[in-house]
Amino acid sequence: MNSESRDPSINIVGTNVHRTTYAHAAALICKWGEDRLSKYVCAASVNNVMEAYDSPIFQRVMNEADLVTPDGMPLVWALKLLGQKCATRVYGPDLTPIILERAALEGLPVGFYGGAPQVLNRLVEVVTQRFPGLQVAYAFSPPFRPTTPEEDEQIVEEINRSGARILFIGLNTPKQDYWMAAHKGRVQAVMVGVGAAFDFLAGSKPQAPRWMMRIGTEWIFRFLTEPRRLWKRYLKHNPRFALLFLLQFLGWKQFSRSLDPRA
């Protein structure tokens, strides 16, 4: 499959997730950036799928994304059980440096939207040192409150004026996904939602050990480091996802692929 086409998507508890790889996702995103296309990419975890299951509006946001990568191991296992034997994880914090390296080689300007000011400053410092020749055309830490329409219009103008072709979005889910969907067609860049990647790359938050990532227990590490923020995500969503996917796998429950939020 060439870099101009997407991998097939598989419906997992109502959310369409693409079977892709790091190399293919990075090539596709950079090709879109080179062509100056306005698109958005979501990195899907169990949290995304369950937030979408609970909200038809958010499910539409996820299913209208131009690419949805399997960010968490449970989704990789689900893809494999649904017949995609070669499915692999495409994790936002690992995909980010792969895209940055390719963007540096191809001369594609990038931007960063999200994160606290000190995290963003450190992130830009780290990536420009790590990837010589990388052009960081834009970096902005938005306020924690909702932006006004006037502020939002100014942000869009600044992003477009900067010339950034790939814009990494470092907000929480589902906030970053809603933001990207609302700005498709307005922001003239490929928007890539990478969640905590800003904090991890800047060194402001610890990442789980690789062995925990491989066996799908990364969520335990993250829960123990941020229990107040993540308890709902893991303790509410994970058991329900396991049950709903089991029902889907056994053929006892079907999930609509409809993009109609009333479905």
Can you tell me whether residue 30 is helix, strand or coil? Answer: helix
Q: Is residue 210 part of a domain?
A: no
Q: Distances from the Cα of 38 to the Cαs of 35, 122, 165, in angstroms?
A: 9, 27, 9
Q: How many CB atoms lie within 10 A of CB 145?
A: 7
Shortest CA distance to 42 belongs to which of 91, 107, 84, 104? Answer: 91
Tokens of 115: 């994160």
- If 0-12 CB within 10 Å is exposed, 13-18 middle and 19+ buried, where does residue 247 land? middle
pLDDT for the residue 230: 67
pLDDT for the residue 214: 74
Q: Is residue 176 part of a domain?
A: yes
Q: Has residue 262 got a pLDDT over 70? A: no
Tokens of 202: 């800047």
Q: Is residue 42 part of a domain?
A: yes
Across 41-52, average pLDDT: 94
Tokens of 188: 């003239």
pLDDT for the residue 208: 67
Shortest CA distance to 201 belongs to which of 109, 107, 134, 106? Answer: 134
Q: Is residue 55 part of a domain?
A: yes
pLDDT for the residue 186: 97
The H or E element spanning position 67 is: strand 67-70
Q: Has residue 202 got a pLDDT over 70? A: yes
pLDDT for the residue 220: 74
Q: What's the domain count of the chain?
A: 1
255 — pLDDT class (breaks 50, 70, 90): confident
Contact (Cβ atoms closer than 8 angstroms) between residue 135 and residue 110: yes
Predicted TM-score (pTM) of this structure? 0.88
Q: Has residue 3 got a pLDDT over 50? A: no
Q: Has residue 147 got a pLDDT over 60? A: yes
State the Cα–Cα distance between residues 75 and 90, nearest whole angstrom.
Answer: 10
Q: Is residue 242 part of a domain?
A: no
Shortest CA distance to 48 belongs to which of 243, 192, 238, 257? Answer: 238
Q: Is residue 135 part of a domain?
A: yes
Can you tell me whether residue 209 is helix, strand or coil? Answer: coil
Q: Taking phi first (over 0 means left), then psi (-120 to 50 degrees means alpha), and beta for anything else, what does residue 114 get?
A: left
Q: Is residue 34 part of a domain?
A: yes
Q: Has residue 245 got a pLDDT over 90? A: yes
Q: Has residue 43 got a pLDDT over 80? A: yes
Q: How many CB atoms lie within 10 A of CB 167?
A: 28
More confident residue, 25 or 6: 25
More confident residue, 261 or 252: 252
Helices 46-54 and 73-81, axial angle in degrees (round to 10): 80
Domain extent, residue 113, equals: 18-202
235 — pLDDT class (breaks 50, 70, 90): confident
Q: Is residue 189 part of a domain?
A: yes
pLDDT for the residue 263: 34
